[in-house]
A and B are shown apart, each in its own frame.
Chain A
Amino acid sequence: MTEMIYLDNAATTKLESCALDAMLPYLTELYGNASAVYEIARKSKKAVFDSRRQCARLIGAAPNEIFFTSGGSESDNWALIGAYEAYRRKKGTCGHIVTTSIEHHAVLRTAEYLESQGVSVTYLKPDSEGFISVSQVGKAIRPDTFLISVMTANNEIGTIEPVTEIADAVRSVRKDILIHTDAVQAYGQIHLENIAGKVDLLSASAHKLGGPKGTGLLYIRDGIKFPPYIRGGMQESGRRSGTENIPGIVGFGAAAEAALNELDDKILLETGLRDFFFGKIREIPDVLINGPGPDDSDLARLPGNISVCIKGIEGESALIMMDREGICASSGSACASGAREPSHVLKAIGRADDEAKGSLRFTLSHHNSREEIETAAVKLSEIVLKLRDRR
Chain B
Amino acid sequence: MKETVVVGMSGGVDSSVCAYLLKEQGYDVIGVTMQIWRPENACDVSDNGGCCGLSAVDDARRVAEVIGIPYYVMDFREKFQKSVIDHFAAQYVRGRTPNPCIECNRHVKWEALLRKARDIGADYLATGHYARIIQLENGRYSICASKTAAKDQTYALYALTQDQLAHTILPIGEYEKSDVRRIAEDAGLPVAHKKDSQEICFVPDGDYASFLEKEPGLTVPGPGDFVTPSGDFIARHKGITHYTVGQRRGLGVAAGERIYVTNIDPETDRVTLGSDDDLLTSVVTAEDVCWMGIEGITEGMQVRTSAKIRYNHCGEYGVLENAGEGRVRVIFDKPVRAAAPGQALVFYDESGTYIYGGGTIIR
A residues in contact (CB < 8 Å) with B: 314, 316-317, 320-321, 323-324, 335-341, 386-387, 390
With A336-B54, A337-B35, A337-B54: A387-B73 Cβ-Cβ less than 8 Å: no
Query: How far apart are the CA atoms of A390 and B167 in the complex, in Å?
Result: 15
Q: Which B residues touch A335, using CB under 8 A?
A: 39
Q: Are B120 and A338 in contact (CB under 8 A)?
A: no
Q: Which B residues touch A337, using CB under 8 A?
A: 33, 35, 42, 54, 57, 73
B121 interfacial contact with A, CB 8 Å: yes
Interface pairs A-B: 10 shortest CB-CB: A339-B35, A339-B73, A338-B73, A339-B75, A317-B119, A340-B75, A337-B57, A337-B73, A320-B120, A317-B120
Query: How far apart are the CA atoms of A316 and B30 in the complex, in Å?
Result: 14
| Among A314, A317, A386: residue with most chain B CB under 10 A | A317
Q: Are B54 and A321 in contact (CB under 8 A)?
A: no
**7 additional contacts (CB under 8 A) given A320-B120, A323-B72, A337-B57:** A314-B116, A321-B120, A336-B54, A338-B73, A339-B75, A340-B74, A386-B121
28 sampled A-B residue pairs with Cβ under 8 A? A314-B119, A316-B74, A316-B75, A316-B116, A317-B116, A317-B119, A317-B120, A320-B30, A320-B72, A321-B121, A323-B72, A324-B70, A324-B120, A336-B54, A337-B35, A337-B42, A337-B54, A337-B73, A338-B72, A338-B73, A339-B35, A339-B73, A339-B74, A340-B75, A341-B75, A387-B119, A390-B118, A390-B119
Q: Which B residues touch A317, using CB under 8 A?
A: 116, 119-120
Residues of B23-71 contacting chain A, CB below 8 A: 30, 33, 35, 39, 42, 54, 57, 70
Task: Count A-B contacts at CB 8 Å.
Answer: 40
Query: How far apart are the CA atoms of A317 and B114 in the complex, in Å?
Result: 12
Query: How far apart are the CA atoms of A323 and B69 in the complex, in Å?
Result: 13
Q: How far is the CB of B181 from chain A (nearest CB, A)?
A: 26
| Among B35, B54, B75: residue with most chain A CB under 10 A | B75
Q: Which B residues touch A321, using CB under 8 A?
A: 120-121
Query: How far apart are the CA atoms of A177 and B59 in the complex, in Å?
Result: 48
Residue of A nearest to B58 (CB): A337
Q: How far is the CB of B10 from chain A (nearest CB, A)?
A: 13
Query: How far apart are the CA atoms of A183 and B143 in the complex, in Å?
Result: 57
Q: How far is the CB of B19 from chain A (nearest CB, A)?
A: 16
Q: Which A residues touch B70, using CB under 8 A?
A: 323-324
Query: How far apart are the CA atoms of A316 and B73 in the complex, in Å?
Result: 9
Q: Which A residues touch B119, using CB under 8 A?
A: 314, 317, 387, 390
Query: How far apart are the CA atoms of A324 and B75 in the complex, in Å?
Result: 19
Query: How far apart are the CA atoms of A386 and B118 in the complex, in Å?
Result: 11
Q: How far is the CB of B297 from chain A (nearest CB, A)?
A: 35
Query: How far apart are the CA atoms of A337 and B35 in the complex, in Å?
Result: 8
Query: How far apart are the CA atoms of A134 and B164 in the complex, in Å?
Result: 56
Q: How far is the CB of B220 from chain A (nearest CB, A)?
A: 28
Q: Which A residues touch B73, using CB under 8 A?
A: 337-339
Q: Which A residues touch B42, using CB under 8 A?
A: 337
Q: Which A residues touch B72, using CB under 8 A?
A: 320, 323, 338
Query: How far apart are the CA atoms of A323 and B57 in the complex, in Å?
Result: 19
Q: Which B residues touch A314, using CB under 8 A?
A: 116, 119
Query: How far apart are the CA atoms of A258 and B301 in the complex, in Å?
Result: 83
Query: How far apart are the CA atoms of A243 and B70 in the complex, in Å?
Result: 39
Q: Which B residues touch A340, using CB under 8 A?
A: 74-75
Query: How far apart are the CA atoms of A340 and B34 in the complex, in Å?
Result: 11
Query: How far apart are the CA atoms of A335 and B39 in the complex, in Å?
Result: 9
Q: Which A residues touch B30, using CB under 8 A?
A: 320
Query: How far apart are the CA atoms of A320 and B121 in the complex, in Å?
Result: 10
Query: How far apart are the CA atoms of A339 and B57 in the complex, in Å?
Result: 10
Residue of A nearest to B115 (CB): A390
Q: Which A residues touch B118, using CB under 8 A?
A: 390
Query: How far apart are the CA atoms of A363 and B39 in the complex, in Å?
Result: 27
Q: Which B residues touch A316, using CB under 8 A?
A: 74-75, 116
Query: How far apart are the CA atoms of A86 and B113 in the complex, in Å?
Result: 51
Residue of A nearest to B77 (CB): A339
Residue of A nearest to B52 (CB): A337
Q: Which B residues touch A387, using CB under 8 A?
A: 119
Q: How far is the CB of B307 from chain A (nearest CB, A)?
A: 38
| Among A320, A321, A341, A390: residue with most chain B CB under 10 A | A320
Q: How far is the CB of B113 from chain A (nearest CB, A)?
A: 12
Q: How far is the CB of A252 from chain B (nearest CB, A)?
A: 30
Question: Per-position contact with A for B170-198: 1 when CB-CB < 8 Å, else 0?
Answer: 00000000000000000000000000000
